[in-house]
Amino acid sequence: MTLTMTAVEREAFLAEPRIGVLSVADRDGRAPLTVPIWYGYRPGGQIWFSTGADTRKLERIRAAGRVSLLAQTEQPPYRYVSVEGPVSAIDPATPEERRALAERYLGPDADRYLEATVDVAATMMIVRMEPEHWLSRDYAKSG
């Protein structure tokens, strides 16, 4: 018996709206920078997320050129997917991308969030990552 998810299972799991935990290499001698994020993903595609243009997070992403993302369940049966890969693009966030993330995570409250964050909209960037290395576990498979 294996607890590892199939490619289809792990991609479907990652496509569900979960808070992601992003990690990126930090400066010499420091542990990785690890932060919670909202992210977008469609099976077979890139993972993408937003961050401010002047953040430590984006500075470290640019320097490292790679990130890892973890998504997990908070209740039994525990499951997680961790994926790591190169950053393929960093571009200014479009209004459509900001709306897509807000609707994914906030549903009907997305408009209120977008209105409340309009002052930072012009400084938001979208980071895209190519999934390269996967780890997963589904403890429901243990019986």
pLDDT of 4-15, one tens digit each? 999 999 999 999
What does CATH list as the number for 7-142?
2.30.110.10
Where exactly are the structural domains of the chain? Answer: 7-142
Q: How far apart are CA 47 and CA 41, in angstroms?
A: 5
pTM of the model: 0.95
**In DSSP terms, which residues pair with 35 in a beta bridge?**
22
DSSP E strands: which ranges in 25-106? 33-37, 39-41, 47-52, 66-72, 79-92
Q: List pLDDT tens digits, range 20-53.
A: 999 999 988 899 999 999 999 999 999 999 999 9
How do residues 61-113 score in pLDDT, each as one tens digit? Answer: 999 999 999 999 999 999 999 999 999 999 999 999 999 999 999 999 999 99
Three-state DSSP at 27 gives coil
The pLDDT of residue 64 is: 97
- Asked if residue 81 lies in contact with residue 131, where contact means CB atoms within 8 angstroms, the answer is no
